[in-house]
Amino acid sequence: MKKISILLLLINFIFCTGKYGDAFLNLGASARDVGVGQAVVSDLSNASGYNVCPAAIAGLDKKTFYLLLINQYGLAEYFSGGAVLPLKRNYFVGVNTTGLIVDNILIRPDLSSIGSLETRRDSIRSLMESGFESFDDIEFAATITFAKMNKSNFRMGMGIMPYQLPVGFNIRLIRKKLYELEASGIGFDVGGILSFELSELFSNKWLGRFSIGTSFNHVFNTHLFWNSDRRDIIPMQMVRGMTYDQPIDKIHSQLSIMGQQNNLFPNEVQYGLELITLNRLFIRIGNRSGTYQGGLGILANVHKMLIRIDYSFANHDLGNAHRLGLQLEL
């Protein structure tokens, strides 16, 4: 009788499909987001920010396309690609596909029940000659995002302070396949961002923009239904955070400071910094789960099309992970 000797993999799979059933999405939707520790819950006009807060796509004034392709530690292939389209009346729609593939996982029979060492040795030789069967681990998500940019004013005594309040929601299909097991489920996210100029609030032209974001992801708990009649539940997550964008006019730059926290990981704070110089060069650093991350980006205008190339890295016990991403604005 054959048994799969990847028992540890299966145990990890069983215990991670519940609370961490969307863990593959945490690899990030863009190299830029990874570079700032993925602390983008309050980051306005971010096409790939849907993954943390669906309201983030609001405010983009051009059609935006992005792509991320990585090889994770030489063990897995990961991709994320999508687009955001501005519509009339300050509405926005986005689409994304994300996938993680670990291929050629070998199926090894359990030979421990064979009592004779000679028979066990002959079985191993036979297997080495004929080769092992294999299978793939595939995790996939397709997401549609809708957002609306709302603008209004706070009345403050004799004056008013304009603010932006985009809101959005995701509809996400998740599919998984491991060996003969398959699962699928549909999840929903909803989030919003409040953004205003501190220069208006404190009557100081040197101050920048302050944003507060909150997103409820898997808002109804996402249920994954397996063909083995097993059901896993990804619990709702509340992600909240802040972003401050400080202009530095003397050197034609802007410094953004970002931070966020997920209620499922109360002891973990994600944060990041991004320095934009001459609106062309991007320097980033961040931290997520105690892992230091960072990266660079460069923006070019080619035939009225804005092209941004981003690079990011993250250190890990398995080795440094490098990501290269592309974003186009038409």
According to the model, what pLDDT value does residue 207 have? 94
Q: By C-alpha distance, which of 85, 98, 92, 130 is closest to 27?
A: 98
The structure tokens 């209004």 sit at: 152
* Residue 248 within a domain: yes
* Residue 300 within a domain: yes
Top pLDDT among 158 and 251 is at: 251
The structure tokens 């700032």 sit at: 36
User: 45 pLDDT band (50/70/90 cuts)?
Assistant: very high
* Residue 228 within a domain: yes
Top pLDDT among 76 and 91 is at: 91
The structure tokens 């421990």 sit at: 112
Strand partners, 18: none
User: 22 pLDDT band (50/70/90 cuts)?
Assistant: confident
Most trustworthy range by pLDDT among 105-109, 158-162, 173-177, 315-319: 173-177
* Residue 1 within a domain: no
Burial of 168 (0-12, 13-18, 19+ CB in 10 A): buried
Give the type of residue at 114: I
CA distance readout (Å), 284 to 46, 79, 247, 307: 15, 21, 16, 18
CATH code of the domain covering residue 209: 2.40.160.40
Q: Is the pLDDT of residue 137 over 90?
A: no
Q: What is the average pLDDT across 206-229?
A: 95
Domain that holds residue 73: 7-329
Cβ neighbours, 10 Å, residue 175 = 15
- Structure tokens, 253: 């730059």
* Residue 177 within a domain: yes
In contact, 172 and 223? CB cutoff 8 Å? no
According to the model, what pLDDT value does residue 320 have? 76
- Where are the strands (E) in the chain, listed by range? 64-72, 76-86, 91-107, 133-148, 151-156, 159-164, 167-178, 181-197, 209-217, 222-226, 231-234, 237-248, 253-262, 269-277, 281-288, 291-302, 305-314, 321-329
DSSP 54: G
Domain total of the chain: 1
What's CA 264's distance to the chain center, in Å?
16
| Alpha-carbon gap, residue 205 to 280, rounded angstroms | 24
Q: Quote the pTM value.
A: 0.86
- Structure tokens, 79: 């991709």
* Residue 184 within a domain: yes
In contact, 215 and 41? CB cutoff 8 Å? yes
